[in-house]
Amino acid sequence: MGNKSVSISVVRRLPRYYRFLGELLNHSVQRISSRELSQRMGLTASQIRQDLNCFGGFGQQGYGYNVELLHREIGNILGMNQHKKTILIGVGNLGRAILSHMAFEEKGIEIIGLFDRSEALVGEKIGGLTIAHTDELEAFCRERQPKVAILCVPKYTAEDLVVRLCKLGVNAYWNFSHYDIAVHHPGTVVENVHLGDSLMTLCYEVKEMEEPSAPQGGKKE
Amino acid sequence: MGNKSVSISVVRRLPRYYRFLGELLNHSVQRISSRELSQRMGLTASQIRQDLNCFGGFGQQGYGYNVELLHREIGNILGMNQHKKTILIGVGNLGRAILSHMAFEEKGIEIIGLFDRSEALVGEKIGGLTIAHTDELEAFCRERQPKVAILCVPKYTAEDLVVRLCKLGVNAYWNFSHYDIAVHHPGTVVENVHLGDSLMTLCYEVKEMEEPSAPQGGKKE
DNA sequence: TAGATTGTTAATCGATTAACAATC
DNA sequence: TAGATTGTTAATCGATTAACAATC
């Protein structure tokens, strides 16, 4: 079929489609047209049809899309039926929040290990898993072969960890640190969550809303 | 100067520039060319120059950019010198993680109130602020006039809260919920942090890496 | 001055939207 | 069949990259 790889813009919209379809499903909606979905989601119908057709013809002319089928298909495309062995490193506030907050299993992620470098935390149990010291990473990874790591550690810690993890065959990262994994380790798959960047973007927009595009400093006169 | 509003793609890159420049500053680097910065950041020099020139001519031909000046300018563009009155709603795991994790003041955000609807949490003190019940929102906002709300609550709670907050003049949201504020309340400024979506995007890429673009179900044959 | 590097215009590339024939 | 709505091609729009004259 010669699929040329789907653009990241499209991929990033899939989870949102998945959520909306899940809700329609909860409301027992059986079919939906691209037009109606587009109105609910604030997109164009064209875009929805284009996006979906990157992966296959899931609709039917004159009818629209079967909600349940489409929901399931997108779930499969996103790999939510998998069991990707995953470790989480850094069990501070953020790590704990993520652990308790995300529905990992239903996203195809299986957390098989927790690590921290603070002796005070090592040995503590969270959701059936015991926090191990980061010194144990090598032994653990050789035995259990995790594919994904969630990094809830500061930048300088991440830097060292990623070097070690890459050697151990971990090449996918959900990265909450400011360390630029993709730049330093090409060939890895990285999804960055830069909360600070997001907040700063909001700040910009707030400022813009209040005093629209005040010309900046700029050129000497 | 007739600034036409800067595209969101550009704005989203500003925090990253800011971080890189901050680090150069820490390493006592005084000047940098777009070319060298582009290599460090994994961008093109062209893009950096285009981006910066949306806001003014901060460089100097034959020299490059003064790191300290540029860092400060971008900080100002992002409004980091402001004191935006902000409330945080939902002081569970995620809310706490964010409170302890973000350097709010240095981003121009001043947290002036914490709210939760759980009686068990009301009265607890975190970082000098006492958690109040969400019932108090109206009284609080009328008196203190916050501009920004951070929503660390589930979707159905957010739905109700945003309606109330909009009436109270809060029109900027850092949104961790799945409620689609922008679709339902045009005129607000919203920055979504959809952790689940981010994780699912990673899952897709992991799957793609392992079994490159397996053709999907698609058309009946 | 010569060399370096910007600011800015033009060219390219990619993503979104519009249009419409195919078809259920 | 007539109406609806897809899948897909073509047109538009916007963002990125390349090129180069301006200038420090």
HSE-CB for A65 with a 13 A CA cutoff: 28
A149 in a domain, yes or no? yes
B216 part of a folded domain: no
Cα A219 to Cα A98: distance, rounded to the nearest angstrom = 45
The CA–C1' separation of B47 and C13, in angstroms, is 14
| Shared-domain flag, residues A101 and A124 | yes
Which pLDDT tens digits describe chain B residue by residue (221 residues)?
335 789 999 999 999 999 999 999 999 999 999 999 999 999 999 999 999 999 999 999 999 999 999 999 999 999 999 999 999 999 999 999 999 999 999 999 999 999 999 999 999 999 999 999 999 999 999 999 999 999 999 999 999 999 999 999 999 999 999 999 999 998 999 999 999 999 999 999 999 998 876 544 333 32
pLDDT digits (tens, 9 = 90+) for A165-216: 999 999 999 999 999 999 999 899 999 999 999 999 999 999 999 887 654 4
Q: What is the CATH number of the domain that holds B49?
A: 1.10.10.10
A37 & A116 share domain: no
The nearest CA of chain A is from the CA of B76 a distance in Å of: 9
Residues B189 and B88 in one domain: yes
Same domain, A57 and A141: no
pLDDT given for residue B215 in this prediction: 45
Q: How far is the CA of A103 from the C1' of C21 (A)?
A: 44
CA-to-C1' distance for A65 and D17, Å? Answer: 39
Residue A94 lies in a domain: yes
In angstroms, the CA of B120 and the C1' of C18 are apart by 55
Which pLDDT does position A215 carry in this prediction? 45
CA–CA separation, A22 and B197 (whole Å): 14
| B70 and B114 belong to one structural domain | no
CB A152 within 8 A of CB A90: yes
User: CB A204 to CB B107 under 8 A?
Assistant: no
- Show residues of chain B in contact with A94, CB under 8 Å: 97, 101
Residue A217 lies in a domain: no
Angle at B150 between CA B149 and CA B152, to 5 degrees: 135
Last residue of a domain, one of A77, A103, A125: A77
Token pair 């980061």 is at which residue? A134
Whether B106 contacts B84, CB under 8 Å: no
Does residue A68 sit within a domain?
A: yes
**Closest nucleotide to B45: CA versus each C1':** D17
CA-based nearest residue to A147, from A91, A195, A108: A108
Bases of strand C lying below 7 A from some protein CB? 2-9, 14-19, 22-24
Q: What is the DSSP letter of A115?
A: E
Task: Copy the structure tokens of residue A181.
Answer: 């994994």
Distance CA B59, CA B17 (A): 14
Instruction: Report which of A85, A86, A87, A89 is spatially closest to residue A152, judged by C-alpha positions.
Output: A89
Together in a domain, B119 and B138: yes
The reply to whether A60 and A135 lie within a common domain is no
Domain final residue, candidates A77, A98, A121: A77
The HSE-up count of residue A22 (CA atoms within 13 Å, CB side) is 10
Q: Rounded to an integer, what distance in angstroms lies between the CA atom of residue B39 and that of residue B24?
A: 14
> A154 and A100 share a domain?
yes
Residue A22 lies in a domain: yes
The answer to whether residues A132 and A187 belong to one domain is yes
**How far, in Å, CA of A54 to CA of A210, rounded?**
40
Is B69 found in the same domain as B17? yes
Which residue, counting CA atoms, is nearest to the C1' of nucleotide C22? Answer: A61
Q: Chain B residue with minimal CA distance to A52?
A: B218
Torsion sign over Cα A69, A148, A11, B191: positive
Residues 6+ apart with CB under 8 A from A115: A87, A88, A89, A90, A91, A131, A132, A133, A134, A136, A137, A140
**Same domain, residue pair B12 and B51:** yes
- Domain tally, chain B: 2
Q: Is residue A57 part of a domain?
A: yes
All residues at 6 or more sequence positions from B49 whose CB lies less than 8 Å from its CB, including other chains: B34, B59
Give domain status of residue B137, yes or no.
Answer: yes
Q: What is the domain range of residue A43? A: 8-77
- Which CATH number does the domain housing residue A174 bear? 3.40.50.720
pLDDT tens per residue across span A63-88: 999 999 999 999 999 999 999 999 99
Both B31 and B89 in one domain: the answer is no
Of A21, A44, A77, at which residue does a domain stop?
A77
Tell me the nearest-neighbour CA distance from B3 into chain A, angstroms: 6
Cα–Cα dist B89/B91, whole Å: 6
How far B221 CA lies from chain A's nearest CA (Å)?
11
